[in-house]
Amino acid sequence: MTRRTAEQEIAAQKVKADLAAQKASVKAAAYADTATEVLAALTEAERGELTDSGEVSRYVRATNGSKADALRRLRETFAWRRKERPESLACRACVQDPQAHYMHVVGHDSLGRPIIYSCLTPVKNRSTAENRTHMIVTFEQAIRLMPKGVEQWVWVSDFAGFGMSDVDPGMARTFLHVSAEYYPERLGHFVVLDAPSVFNVLYKIVKPWVDPATTAKITFVGVHPAAQMRSAFKRLSFSDELIDWLSDEIEENRNRKIVKSKVYSYTQLQHIAATPGEFVPGSGSGSLAGGHNIYGTRDFMDRLRGNPAALKPAALRCEPAQGETAAEQCGGLEQLYDHSWGMVEMLCSLTGWLTNTAR
Whether the predicted pLDDT of 30 surpasses 80: yes
Q: Is 36 helix (H, G, I), strand (E, B) or coil?
A: helix
* Amino acid of residue 293: N
Reported confidence tier of residue 107, pLDDT bands at 50, 70, 90: very high
Whether the predicted pLDDT of 306 surpasses 70: yes
168-173 LR contacts (CB < 8 Å, sep 24+): 168/128, 168/202, 169/202, 169/205, 169/206, 170/128, 171/128, 171/131, 172/202, 172/205, 172/206, 173/206, 173/209
Interatomic CA distance for residues 267 and 308, integer angstroms: 11
Whether the predicted pLDDT of 358 surpasses 50: no
- Helical residues (DSSP H) of the chain, grouped into ranges: 6-41, 44-47, 55-62, 67-84, 92-96, 128-144, 169-182, 197-206, 212-215, 226-235, 240-252, 256-261, 266-274, 298-304, 326-333, 343-358
pLDDT tens digit sequence for 316-354? 444 444 454 444 444 444 444 433 333 323 333 333 333
Average pLDDT (235-263) is 94
Question: What are the C-alpha distances in Å from 183 to residues 58, 74, 176, 208?
Answer: 9, 10, 10, 19
Q: What are phi and psi of 328, to 5 degrees?
A: -65, -45
Whether the predicted pLDDT of 285 surpasses 70: no
Question: What are the C-alpha distances in Å from 102 to residues 35, 38, 266?
Answer: 37, 38, 11
* Amino acid of residue 260: K
Residue-level pLDDT at 338: 37
Q: Are 91 and 101 in contact (CB under 8 A)?
A: yes
Average pLDDT (279-288) is 46
Interatomic CA distance for residues 23 and 30, integer angstroms: 11
Q: Are 318 and 324 in contact (CB under 8 A)?
A: no
Average pLDDT (13-33) is 79
pLDDT tens digit sequence for 126-159? 888 999 999 999 999 999 999 999 999 999 999 9
DSSP label at residue 147: P
User: How many residues does the structure list for the chain?
Assistant: 359
Burial zone of 57 (CB within 10 Å; 0-12 exposed, 13-18 middle, 19+ buried): buried
With a pLDDT cut of 70, the percent of the chain lying above it is: 79
Burial zone of 224 (CB within 10 Å; 0-12 exposed, 13-18 middle, 19+ buried): exposed
Residue-level pLDDT at 359: 36
Whether the predicted pLDDT of 39 surpasses 90: yes
Q: What are phi and psi of 344, to 5 degrees?
A: -60, -45
Looking at the DSSP assignment, which residues form a beta bridge with residue 103? 118
**Largest separation between any pair of C-alpha atoms in the chain:** 86
Residue-level pLDDT at 275: 79
Most confident range, picked from 7-21, 71-85, 124-138, 157-171: 71-85
DSSP label at residue 118: E
Reported confidence tier of residue 23, pLDDT bands at 50, 70, 90: confident
What is the number of alpha carbons within 13 Å of residue 135 lying toward its C-beta? 21
